[in-house]
Chains A and B, each alone.
Chain A
Amino acid sequence: MAFLDIEHLEKSFGTNRVVKDFNLEIEQGEFISLLGPSGCGKTTVLRMVAGFESTSSGAIRIDGQDVTNLRPNQRNIGMVFQAYALFPNLTVAENVGFGMRVGKKPKAQIKSRVEEMLQLIGLPGLGGRYPFQLSGGQQQRVALARALAVQPRVLLLDEPLSALDAKIRVSLREEIREIQRELGITTIFVTHDQEEALSMSDRVVVMNGGVAEQTGEPFEIYNHPKSRFVAQFVGTLNTLDATVIDAKTGQVRVGETQIGLNRELPGALAGSTINLALRPEVVSLGRKPGRDTILKGRLAEVHFLGSTIRMRVDVDGALISLDTFNTPDTPPPRIGDAVELSLAERDLLVLTD
């Protein structure tokens, strides 16, 4: 049995079903992200695990113990909030030691543990400061230390980086992941930022409208999205309309180009339109060996991003995004130029819903 087991979790506010049949098994020490757009129910799931929100139905088990009806202060779960939520009347050290003081631990033990935690988050010597004397990134690290000090069974983080500057966001997410690995603590991380989810997690749960659409490793989620929503929400996705020529062999036509997908298209009739999708990185500008399907189009946009250049090419009315590396001796083509794009058939995803 998994360490943290969420079974058939449901939550309704009045008639509004916010979480629908949510299932998730998390192994000990695993780092899981809940990823989805705002309002899809991520926070609600997390709050039910923490005990701040009652469940409408379903069960939550931690290490074999059913915690579904336990009060939040009995669950031994660490929580980090977007707004830091440090206690303003307490110093950094008192904040970090709060949970242990509540748990009536001996003073000496609290003191050494607080120092250990401050060391861990890279803020030794700041124990005497008050929260308002710290930067946002420092405050969030203290909040993390405070949550970890009581050695919780599970760590929950609800968009902990959203209130921070872009630079700190990236460095702190690496730091959080490092600390999590070091302690081996089972973690659920909520975010609406796909880059965050993909870069940090062992597995990602993509949520939409209260439903877990797909659960899998970042590589799997990105390369083999099971639904149109997942494909579109995770990463940039180009979509193309294709006309079916032969559903059995997977022959379709995009504009003037006939493409053999080499897979059956169940349920598609000849002459009907299906939706194809492809990631920017599987498309090359010009002909490339191994990428035998050629699409002709006209360059519509060029965005110079530094090490890479993102272009959008108009193929038969559909805008296809692709990235090329910036090489100083080959300037990109000009807007309006006719260009050829090459890609491999197997990189074309067929979107079913």
Chain B
Amino acid sequence: MRTQRIWSIIALLFGLLYFALPLIGTLEFSLRARRGVYSLDAYRSVLSDPQFRETFGYSIVMAIFTILVGALIVVPTAYWVRLKLPRLRPVVEFVTLLPLVIPPIVIVFGYIRLYNTSSFLPLTGSIMGTNVLLLLGYTTLALPYMYRAVDTGLRTLDVATLTEAAQSLGAGWTTILARLILPNVLIAVLSGAFITFAIVIGEFVLASLLNRPAFGPYMQLVGANKAYEPAALAVIAFSITWICMGLIQLVTRFSKHTKAKR
């Protein structure tokens, strides 16, 4: 018992070190832009770079649209599958997991082949079209997380009976989705949204191959050409991810307070 305890603590410490040391190293390195003293010079340089602001802004906008489109696709789908096609649930679940199995590079080459300028739907021919394509690509990447989050949120509801109760009160499908289902899975959608945000901000392959000015390719560019700034960028990117994770925790904690089960 005692020794077991000690061993698990050692294992935990080892894991923490393995995880934390590179981070600490990066952080430390990012602060050493000025010779001899710690400084925020690298951060200052990054933050004042107009390209940083441009690409970061672009990725944030893309992330927001991805979240909206994702929620718009996933919430009705997960609801409908639970309500009318419960037997298809494993199939749908499998489909939503595909983006984890198929590398983004495959997806993007598929896109480029399918939607090139000489195809039936030449999306890559215009900037707007390419943005749409990138947005759909991001939505696909976020699908596994978004679907899982929403489906888990729906599990706590008696979807069928609530739907029937609303129907008997005169509600149609849009009313049911907007006034009943969405508000009840909003917490789940939010936690899916934060993961999506973190994914989109750091995504490289799709944006790079579709040649859009996103944050991921910018990080790569800086990494290839500068010394301290990449470390600062890495720390910034990590912080964003962590803030997102923290927000997920916060949001789920908050939800437990307001909606304790009867």
A152-B167 Cα distance, complex, nearest whole Å: 13
Cβ contacts under 8 Å, A52 to chain B:
164, 167
Cβ contacts under 8 Å, A85 to chain B:
158, 161-162, 164-165
A76-B167 Cα distance, complex, nearest whole Å: 10
Query: B240 at the A/B interface (Cβ < 8 Å)?
Result: no
Cβ contacts under 8 Å, B175 to chain A:
102
Query: A72 at the A/B interface (Cβ < 8 Å)?
Result: yes
Cβ contacts under 8 Å, A266 to chain B:
none
A185 smallest CB distance to B (angstroms)? 14
A52-B180 Cα distance, complex, nearest whole Å: 18
Query: B210 at the A/B interface (Cβ < 8 Å)?
Result: no
Q: CB-nearest residue of chain B relative to A156? A: B168
Q: A74, A79, A88, A150 — which one has the most chain B CB atoms within 10 A of its CB?
A: A88
Within 8 A of B (CB), among A55-76: 71-76
Cβ contacts under 8 Å, A83 to chain B:
158, 161
Cβ contacts under 8 Å, A98 to chain B:
166, 169, 171, 179
Q: CB-nearest residue of chain B relative to A81? A: B161
Query: B170 at the A/B interface (Cβ < 8 Å)?
Result: yes
From the candidates B167, B170, B180, B261, name the one contacting A132 in the complex (CB within 8 A).
B261
Query: A172 at the A/B interface (Cβ < 8 Å)?
Result: no
A88-B183 Cα distance, complex, nearest whole Å: 9
A76 contacts B165, CB within 8 Å?
no
A132 contacts B260, CB within 8 Å?
yes
Given A131-B262, A132-B262, do A73 and B165 touch, yes or no (CB 8 Å)?
A: no
A132-B179 Cα distance, complex, nearest whole Å: 18
A129 smallest CB distance to B (angstroms)? 12
Query: B116 at the A/B interface (Cβ < 8 Å)?
Result: no
Given A132-B259, A132-B261, do A89 and B167 touch, yes or no (CB 8 Å)?
A: no
A50 smallest CB distance to B (angstroms)? 6
B169 contacts A89, CB within 8 Å?
no
A102 contacts B180, CB within 8 Å?
no
A88 contacts B157, CB within 8 Å?
yes
B29 smallest CB distance to A (angstroms)? 48
B170 contacts A79, CB within 8 Å?
no
B206 smallest CB distance to A (angstroms)? 36
A133 smallest CB distance to B (angstroms)? 9
Query: B172 at the A/B interface (Cβ < 8 Å)?
Result: yes
From the candidates A89, A136, A143, A150, name the one contacting B170 in the complex (CB within 8 A).
A150
Query: A147 at the A/B interface (Cβ < 8 Å)?
Result: yes
B184 contacts A88, CB within 8 Å?
yes
Proximity bits, B213-248, A CB within 8 Å = 1, else 0? 000000000000000000000000000000000000
Cβ contacts under 8 Å, A86 to chain B:
165
A118-B183 Cα distance, complex, nearest whole Å: 24
A73 contacts B168, CB within 8 Å?
yes
B154 smallest CB distance to A (angstroms)? 12
A76-B169 Cα distance, complex, nearest whole Å: 7
Q: CB-nearest residue of chain B relative to A143? A: B165
A86-B161 Cα distance, complex, nearest whole Å: 9
B167 smallest CB distance to A (angstroms)? 4
A131-B260 Cα distance, complex, nearest whole Å: 10
Cβ contacts under 8 Å, A79 to chain B:
164-165, 168
Query: A36 at the A/B interface (Cβ < 8 Å)?
Result: no
Query: A146 at the A/B interface (Cβ < 8 Å)?
Result: yes
B161 contacts A102, CB within 8 Å?
no
A81-B169 Cα distance, complex, nearest whole Å: 13
Given A89-B180, A132-B262, do A73 and B162 touch, yes or no (CB 8 Å)?
A: no
Given A50-B164, A132-B259, do A87 and B170 touch, yes or no (CB 8 Å)?
A: no
A73 contacts B171, CB within 8 Å?
yes
A260-B262 Cα distance, complex, nearest whole Å: 60
B251 smallest CB distance to A (angstroms)? 15
Cβ contacts under 8 Å, A132 to chain B:
259-262
Within 8 A of B (CB), among A224-239: none
Query: A289 at the A/B interface (Cβ < 8 Å)?
Result: no
Cβ contacts under 8 Å, B169 to chain A:
73, 98-99, 102, 146-147, 150
Cβ contacts under 8 Å, A331 to chain B:
none
Proximity bits, B135-175, A CB within 8 Å = 1, else 0? 00000000000000000000001100110111111111001
Query: A41 at the A/B interface (Cβ < 8 Å)?
Result: no
A101 smallest CB distance to B (angstroms)? 8
Query: A290 at the A/B interface (Cβ < 8 Å)?
Result: no
A146-B166 Cα distance, complex, nearest whole Å: 10
B171 contacts A88, CB within 8 Å?
no
Q: CB-nearest residue of chain A relative to B180? A: A87
A95 smallest CB distance to B (angstroms)? 9
A172-B165 Cα distance, complex, nearest whole Å: 20
A131-B157 Cα distance, complex, nearest whole Å: 13
Proximity bits, A217-252, B CB within 8 Å = 1, else 0? 000000000000000000000000000000000000
B172 contacts A73, CB within 8 Å?
yes
Within 8 A of B (CB), among A85-110: 85-89, 98-99, 102-103
Could you name 12 residue pairs across A and B whose Cβ atoms are closer than 8 Å? A72-B168, A74-B170, A83-B158, A85-B158, A85-B161, A85-B165, A86-B165, A98-B169, A98-B171, A99-B170, A146-B165, A152-B168
- B residues in contact (CB < 8 Å) with A: 157-158, 161-162, 164-172, 175, 179-180, 183-184, 259-262
Q: Apart from A50-B168, A52-B164, A71-B167, what are 10 other A-B pairs with CB-CB below 8 Å?
A: A73-B167, A73-B170, A75-B168, A79-B168, A86-B165, A87-B162, A89-B259, A98-B166, A99-B170, A139-B262
